[in-house]
Structures are given as C-alpha cells and as structure tokens.
Structure 1
Amino acid sequence: MTPATRTLPAKTPPRLQPLKGVRVLSLALNLPGPAALMRCRQMGARCVKLEPPGSAAGASGASGDPMAQYNPGAYAALHEGVRTGVADLKTDQGQKALHRELSKADVLITSFRPSALVKLGLNWPALHRQYPQLSQIAIVGSPGARAEEPGHDLTYLAENDLVTGLDLPPTLYADMGGSLMASEAVLQAVMHQRGKGKGVFLEVALSSAAGYLALPRAWGLTRPGAAVGGGHAGYRVYPCQDGRVAVAALEPHFAARLCAAAGVAASSIQALLAPATHQAIAAFLLTQTRRQLDKLAADQDIPLHTLPP
C-alpha cells in the first residue's frame, strides 16, 4: 500500500528586521509620516512620536494628530507599537522634551514646511551641528523651492494626471507612495551612518511620489486605448451576469485561453486590439455568473477577479 501523501504546511518567509536597534523619532502627522513610521517599526526600529497637544476635544494630553480625530481606527493601526508623547514644540517645556528624544534618536522624521523647521530650530544645519550622528528625513509636499507651497494628496495626483473626471481616487496614492519613499530614505540614512559615521539629510516630496506612480501613464502604458489602458481585449473590466470581472489575460498564453473559452479566434496582438474581439469577449462574459468565472479561472489558469456590481 502506498502511504498517504502528507501535505506539509507552507513555511512563513522570515521577516527581516534591518532596522533592529535603530531609534526613529517622528514629528510627522496625518498619514505619510505615521505610515512611514509603521513601516520602520515593522522593520525592527524602536519608534517614538511626539505630537502637539490636542485642541479639538480640549482634553489635557490628547493627541494633536488630526488622524486621531477623523479616523481613530486608522490612527490606532498606524501607531501600534509606537511610543507616543505630547509636546508643544513652541514652548520651552516642549523643546526640552524634544531634545531629550533627539539625543537618543538615530533618525528624525519631520513633515513641516522648511520655514517651520527654522522656527522650531530643526533646520538641518542647526540640527546636524548639535547632533552630528542624527539623520533627518524631511517629508514635504513638493521638492526644492516649492516645498513651501500648500498641497495635499489630491492636488499632487491632479498635477500628475492621476485624477479623472469628478470622482476622488480610491486611495491616497501620493501619501502612501511617499510613506514608502520615506521608509526607504530611513534605510538609506542608516546605511550612510554606518558607512560614514555621521548623519545625512534626505528630502521626500509627496508630489515626487505621485510622479513616480504616474510614470506608466507618462510613458503611455495606461493611456486610453493603450494595451493596459483598455486597448487589449484581455486586459479590461467587463460586466458579467451578476457583477463585474477584472480580466488581466495580457500575456499571449493567458489571452489564448481566454479567447478559447469565449470561442474567439484571436491569436495575434492585432486581433486582441480589434473592436470585434472586445465585443465577442464582452458578450461571452455577460452570459457568465461570478461563480462560473471563478471556476473558469481556476480550471483554465486565467488571471481574472470577479467583483460585485
């Protein structure tokens, strides 16, 4: 008798902690800074955040991060494992609390305009002179001379052609992209510190993050009619009988399986770009339920994902 085959549980990939032992202090509010700090904590850093005193609730010691007011759940998720404190940096007491933390930190994350950093004594020349081992990651809206301009995620997306029609984007792309750039900058700063023995100043602009995310559009990849802009019949969102289906059968072997299932004779890229192929695949998908399409995807190895109406 052949012994039964035992399926071994999948091994969880090891989580590397390249920032273990690194102390990160953040003064950054809202989303990009806290999201960057969350990533740093996940990479093993010891994270501290100082916030201004809250004024909306009028409670002593309340958080002054707006996120804590308009979405407490998101705030809690972002700050899990982060030691938070309250300090009014415009007062002597708040400055003393700040410098106690700066004396122990390896990296400082800020999200103030450059003029505000000067007023708080946190501009890089002054900071580097007092704490030569410390690095600073300055999150700004726009780079260089435009860093004083007001803006937000929506305006940075708009200037990079990532806002279409009157609908708001489904997520905060510039903020989250900027948070990844900021956590990457922390890694760069730590590598520099370890190699050179001194801190470094790195600026992360949210508009630059939006510009990076917009590169496929700037290159023409996602423009209307381009292959991944709706031009390829195997890479579109179609209606189905009881909802929608996102089809990503872009590679020739995937596209061939989709066409075979739909009874469409289309093997060349020219055929897949033809309106007749779009119409034939759309007609087939409209006859299928989400359950049927999920089964088709599993049986025929076709990349698609069904969605509610």
Structure 2
Amino acid sequence: MTDKPKALADVTILDLSHLLQGPFATQLLADMGANVIKVERPGQGDLFRTLTFNNRWVGGSESPNFLAWNRNKRSLALDLKAPDAKAILYKIAEKADIVVQNFRPGVLGKLGFGYEDFRKINPRIIYCSGSGYGDSGPYLSRPGQDMLLQGLTGIAAATGRGDGPPVPVGSGFSDQIGAMNMVYGILTALYWRERSGEGQEIKVDLMSAMLAHQGQEMLMAMNFHEDFQRPRSGIGHPGMDAPFGVYPTSDGWVTIAMSPFKRLVGVLGDDNLLVYDDPKTLFERRDEVWEELAKRTKAWSTAELMKALLAVDIWCGEVKTHLQAEQDPQVRHMQAIASYEHPVAGHVKVVAPAVKMSATPAEIAKPAPLVGQHSREILAEFGYAADQIDALVASGAVGETLPG
C-alpha cells in the first residue's frame, strides 16, 4: 500500500455495469483511487461471475473473467426491481459523481435509473452509458457482443490469411476499446464540471469506437474506394508490403516490421532475394516474398535470428505466448504483473495498472469483491441504520455474501 495521494479519491462512481466494457472502465478509474460501488443482482451478481474459459475457475469457484475487471471495487447486492432499490440508489446518487451502465438502451430508464432520473436528484452527476450500436437505429435489438462488432466493423475481415476465414482478435478488443472511450469521456466530463459546475450525459457505443480505432484503415478504404486484400502468407497487415509480418524459425516465430529489405537480405545471406527489392514488387508479390524469406528464417533459431537482426537495427521481436510474456525480462523489469489475495480464490496473479503517475500512482488496494460483500458497509456510509439494513436484507431487496 502506498501512502501517496489518489487522484480520484474524492470521486464516487455508482457502477451499474456488467460483463467487460463498463467494468473495465470503472476498474481503470478505481485503480486511480475512485470509490466504485458495484451494484449487482443478489445471489447471482455480474453475469461474468458465471462465465469462464474452458470451465476453469480460480480457487475452484471464481471466474477469471470477473476477477480480471473488478478489483478495487466494493459490491452492493441490490434487486433493481424491488421498491426499496430506487430509494437506495437515489440516496447514493445525491453524493455520487458518476453513474456507469451498459444495459441495453432504455432498460434502466424504464426502471427509473436513466440520466434524467439521476439528474433531477443531482444536477452535477455524470452519466455514462455503453452500448453496442447506440440507442436507436436498425441494429438496436441486436446483441452488442465483442466478436460480433469485430465482424461488423472490418477488423476481422482485415485479419488473417487471404486463403482462410476472417480472424477475430484474440482478446475482447471491442469491449476494451469501448472501455477506454468511456474513461476518456468521463475524465473529460469531470474536467468540464470543475470549470462549469455542470454534469452531463456520455454515450459510448462499440461500433463507433471500433471504427474510430481503425482510422487509418477506414480512411484508406473510403478515399481510394478499395478494400484491403488480405495476404495469403504471414504478412502482418493487409495494407503492408514485405517483409512486414510473422516468420518461422527452427524453434518458434519472430516478427519483422518496417525494415530495409536489402539489410534483411544481408542478414539472411542470400543475394538472390534482391530481385524483389523495389516497392512495387514487395507489395504485389508480397506472398511470394514471404515464402522465400520464411525458407531462410527457418534455418535459424529464434535467439540466433534475433541477435543477428538487432545487430543491424532490423525492427523485430519474438512471438510469445501469454505464459512466455509473463516471464519476459522487460515485463518483469517493468513490474507489469501483480497479484492480490482473494477471500475465496486465494493468491491471484493479475496484470498491473498500465498507467504510471509520479504524484498519484494507481494501486491494487482491494481484490474483486464477492456478491454483496460490502452491502452493509456501503448503506451505512449513506445514512442507513443497522436495523434498516437488516430489514432490507430480510426483504430480499439487498443481498450480502460474507467472506469465509
């Protein structure tokens, strides 16, 4: 635990979000000290508590998907449809700075938890909504899931080999980009409120986010009226020429980025490859060039090839698995992997906060919570007496889970 101040220590966030987009956004803010009150369904909690990879559970019962996006938060288990829920959330909203939610458009508004409802209680409140496709239009009823957005916005069609199917990115890329846009909007709104005293509503949708984060690819396609054609080889981007790509070695793979072709040929030791050395050829025959280069790189071990390429300033890198990345010397040097102790899962390794700040550093101060673990604590902070809390728990409006 650091004794340095937290930049967002006086910011309270009412977190009504679930799954990945909203929870990652609020975790980023929690890492910087924000007081995040995560509202979950009694007993069940966030849907991500029941989803995992390959039916594997940390500590035997905890979802890695949930643990990844919910540290540094407290859980208030609340039945949003219970009559008492509205009074509780409105009472918290009187002092809250931010509301974050990623329900389908209109769902919370029908329950009385939309922006206008909270604004009447607290005109300074900042209300951030996340969705798949905005709050109107022909896709309004479609599910806004990450891979579906990758398919709709061009990134899957631009990824993979030309003789194979489109390839989604191997992580929840759309949701994480959406989360970053939420944080960007929230911090902008906080700064504006400091100047104006006014709150506002923020809307983030995954479709717009994914298009914006493919700005250079979209600009090329739209202005030249031509889609990228995926290469049939390991070329790493549909708009790039050789040698840009992924190449086999005798014991693994290496990446080679924008590098002088003649210098690369010099390392590989075969001047016959220089027949390809002009920009037009390196693009139009890039699959052929990749195949010829790959025949040569296979003769090297990864370590030997990396040493030779780096010696002449070729832009290159090893291809590593997640476990290999954890042990990477630069990753270890940067202390990019951290851990925390969870009351059920035990010792949990996590990725450390990525943003470094000298005066107000991010910190992992709390593990991901159990469902309703902090219900009593939170309600007491907002003025509820012990007997009132007992009654709310007894009625089922409020839930709780105690560690151990």
Q: What's the TM-score bracket when you normalise by the shorter of the two chains?
A: 0.7 to 0.9
Tell me the residue number matched to 2:130: 139
- Mapping of residues 182-261 of structure 1, within 5 Å: 182-220=182-220, 223-224=229-230, 228-229=237-238, 231-248=240-257, 250-252=258-260, 255-261=261-267
| Alignment pair present for 1:269 and 2:279 | yes
CA 1:279–1:31: 2 relative to 1, 3 Å: closer
Q: CA RMSD in A?
A: 2.8
Q: Which moved more, 1:38-47 or 1:268-277?
A: 268-277
Moved over 6 A (4+): none
| Alignment pair present for 1:287 and 2:278 | no
CA 1:211–1:149: 2 relative to 1, 3 Å: farther
Tell me the residue number matched to 2:179: 179
Tell me the residue number matched to 1:82: 73
AA in 2 matched with 1:21: D
Q: Which moved more, 1:171-180 or 1:63-72?
A: 63-72
CA offsets per residue over residues 258-299 of structure 1, 9 Å max, x none?
232123436643353363644442222121121212322443
Distance 1:297 1:42 in 2: 39
Tell me the residue number matched to 1:32: 21
SS at match of 2:169: coil
CA offsets per residue over residues 61-116 of structure 1, 9 Å max, x none?
x3421111113123123221111110111112222332232122101001122321
Distance 1:65 1:206 in 2: 20
Tell me the residue number matched to 2:394: none
Aligned residues: 284
Higher helix share: 1
Distance 1:298 1:119 in 2: 60
Distance 1:25 1:304 in 2: 44
CA offsets per residue over residues 109-156 of structure 1, 9 Å max, x none?
011223212212122223212210111001111124137322211221
Q: What are the ranges of 5 or more consecutive residues in structure 1 without an aligned counterpart?
A: 1-14, 54-61
Tell me the residue number matched to 2:344: none
TM-score, normalisation: structure 1: 0.81
Q: 1 or 2 for the larger relative contact order (CA 8 Å, sep ≥6)?
A: 2
User: In the alignment, is the contact (CA less than 8 A) between 2:134 and 2:140 conserved in 1?
Assistant: no
Shift of 1:302: 2.3
SS at match of 1:219: helix
Tell me the residue number matched to 1:163: 156
Distance 1:96 1:42 in 2: 29
Q: What are the ranges of 5 or more consecutive residues in structure 2 without an aligned counterpart?
A: 53-62, 158-164, 222-227, 322-404
User: In the alignment, is the contact (CA less than 8 A) between 1:137 and 1:186 conserved in 2?
Assistant: yes
TM-score, normalisation: structure 2: 0.63
Q: Which moved more, 1:156-165 or 1:166-175?
A: 166-175
User: In the alignment, is the contact (CA less than 8 A) between 1:19 and 1:187 conserved in 2?
Assistant: no
Identity across matched positions, percent: 23
Q: Which moved more, 1:143-152 or 1:71-80?
A: 143-152
Tell me the residue number matched to 1:7: none
AA in 2 matched with 1:158: G
Distance 2:21 2:320 in 1: 31
